[in-house]
Amino acid sequence: MINCKSVFTFFLLVFQLAASAQLSKSYLDSLPVSEIDIPITINLKPIFAMAEKQVDTLFTSPNYPNAWIQADCATRYKYRFKRSPFRISASGTTFNLGFTGYYRITGATRACLGGTTITPWTPDCNCGFEEGDRKVNIGFSSTFTLLPNHILNAKIVRQEPQALDKCTVCFWGQDITSLVMDGLKKELDASKKTMETSFGNIDIRPYMQQAWNKLSEVYAVPSIGYFTLNPKALRMERIGAQNDMLSLTIGISATPVVTLIKPQPSQSVVPNLSPAANKDGFNINLEAALQYDSLSKVINGYMAGQRFEMSEGLVNKHVIVKECKVYSDLQDKLALEVDFEGSYKGTVYFTGKPVYNIETKMIELQDFGYDLKTKSLLLKTAKWLFDKRIMSEIQKYTSIDMKSYYDTASKTMNEWLNREWTKGIRGSGSIQDLHLTAVKVLPEHLLIRSNCIGKLNILVNQMEFKF
């Protein structure tokens, strides 16, 4: 199974847009569902090679060539059977396995009556010794179907063995080819029944549940917060093979979020496979909630300690920003509370509505205004002191340039998509669009949503496979 860590790394790269902010709990109910459909191509040659190594190439009767198999009182035989390398091919959902068998048989008969021996054994009758091993083509075909309830159903068909050489025994040259083929069919039918019992209906739900649990876990993201994929639906579609390559598309519907506070992991039963979406690529909606306390720390880092020189008549005055605080005014606007000291002491309250400028790719505060509160009557009548210097600085530090995030995120994601994620698993793809979709001032946090659209293909050339 593909390493889930690789999938999660892909999602985390999208969150570079919010990498400089601390994040808090978001509202999942209104978050658009993300759709991720990833075509996967698996090179079957390594699996075929493993199957070749796992199955013996030589089969003999017990203790060959010294012991005999006595089928009844009147017959005994012993054999050696060698197989050629497997010939495995695939088309659609059908796999064909064939090989050439090379065999030699030694047998003898005697007369019996009611289980009592009447005559001794005849001289040994041989087939495949002097004339060389006799050859026969053997094959099976298997058609598989993955059902919505995670049952992998396989129907196995035994093909008619094709004798390439005649098998003649004893000095009179009796042709026993049909007898050998009849015996071989019985053995092949027994093998077919065993395979159908073992592999006819395989319940892969336990394995899918393990993968679903991994998808549902909470993952810590250094310097950002906690990532939760929140999977909603799972689909596996367009399964088919051609020659040595198996193709399928794995689809996931989810509402991925990043939060500052670690949420409780939510475990659920893996749902049945959803109907095919027949889509390619991914459309991921990211919801990031910037906590006001964290925004306050960011702005304080720029503004705290800033000194502004002002003139009042012929006297030079100054104010020093002491502390900034960001919160919601509960009317869809951001409120910035700035405490200052120096020649004057007081607090100024700025308000503005964050709006995303598509052309400049910046989040800017519009409808910007302020209200000044101070104990100084003179300062209350001199609000104009704040009209230019301090307001321009506040506006500068409350504007967020998203272009640099877009460029960095797109470059990083494209580099990651086109690389070997782990040994034998390589990705190829591209980011086609990355943009912000909404900015909302909520009572608890500033909500930023973005959308990422692109394509991703995965080629698996090596994978763990156990028989």
Cα(141)–Cα(164) distance, integer angstroms: 20
CA separation for the pair 178, 160 (Å, rounded): 12
Give the residue among 79, 67, 76 at the shortest CA–CA distance from 112. Answer: 76
Q: Residue 386 and residue 346: Cα distance in Å, rounded?
A: 12
* DSSP letter for each residue of 198-240: HHSEEE-HHHHHHHHHHHHSEEEETTTEEEE--EEEEEEEEEE
Distance from C-alpha of 442 to C-alpha of 331, rounded to nearest angstrom: 9
Residue with tokens 């919801």: 287
Give the pLDDT band of residue 313 (cuts 50, 70, 90).
low
- Tell me the mean pLDDT in the region 43-65: 88
d(CA 327, CA 296): 8
- Higher-pLDDT residue of 106 and 275 is 106
Question: Across residues 176-192, what is the average pLDDT?
Answer: 86
pLDDT of residue 95: 92
User: Residue 11: which pLDDT band, with cuts at 50, 70 and 90?
Assistant: very low
- Cβ atoms within 10 A of the Cβ of 428, count? 12
Residue 197, pLDDT > 70, answer yes
What value does the mean pLDDT take over residues 142-148?
A: 92
Calculated CA dihedral for residues 214, 215, 216, 217, nearest 10 degrees? 50
Cβ–Cβ contacts within 10 Å for residue 225, how many? 25
Distance CA 147, CA 201 (A): 10
- Give the CA diameter of the chain: 141
The pLDDT value recorded for residue 175 is 83
pLDDT number for residue 380: 52
The predicted pLDDT at position 451 comes to 87
SS3 408: helix
Distance in angstroms (rounded) separating the CA atoms of residues 104 and 128: 4
pLDDT digits (tens, 9 = 90+) for 356-371: 888 888 888 888 777 7
Residue 467's pLDDT band (cuts 50, 70, 90): very low
pTM summary value: 0.70
Give the pLDDT of residue 156: 92
Q: Where are the domains of the chain?
A: 82-203
Residue type (1 letter), 126:
N
- pLDDT tens for 435-458 read 888 888 888 888 888 888 999 998
- Phi, psi (deg, nearest 5) at residue 275: -60, 155
